Amino acid sequence: MNEKIRNWRIGLVIMGVLFLSGCAIMPTRGEVGKPFDEELIGKIQPGKTTRKEIAQWFGVPVAVAKKGEMIKLPTVMATPFGFGGGEMPGTEVSSDTYFVLFSSHKITENHKIYLYVYTKASGMSFTTLGFGYMGGKALKNRLVILMDESKDIVEDYVYDKQT
Per-residue pLDDT tens over the stretch 31-77: 778 899 999 999 999 999 999 999 999 999 999 999 999 998 877 66
pTM of the predicted model as reported, rounded to 2 decimal places: 0.72
Looking at the domain assignment, is residue 31 inside a domain? yes
Looking at the domain assignment, is residue 139 inside a domain? yes
String of b and e for 64-95 (b: at least 16 CB within 10 Å)? bbeeeeebebbbbbbebeeeebeeeebeeeeb
Looking at the domain assignment, is residue 70 inside a domain? yes
Looking at the domain assignment, is residue 72 inside a domain? yes
Print the domain residue range for 33.
24-160
> How distant, in Å, are the alpha carbons of 3, 4, 59, 113 from that of 30?
51, 48, 20, 26
Looking at the domain assignment, is residue 19 inside a domain? no
Report the domain count for the chain.
1
The Cα 33–Cα 73 span in angstroms is 12
Looking at the domain assignment, is residue 115 inside a domain? yes
Beta bridge partners of 132: 127
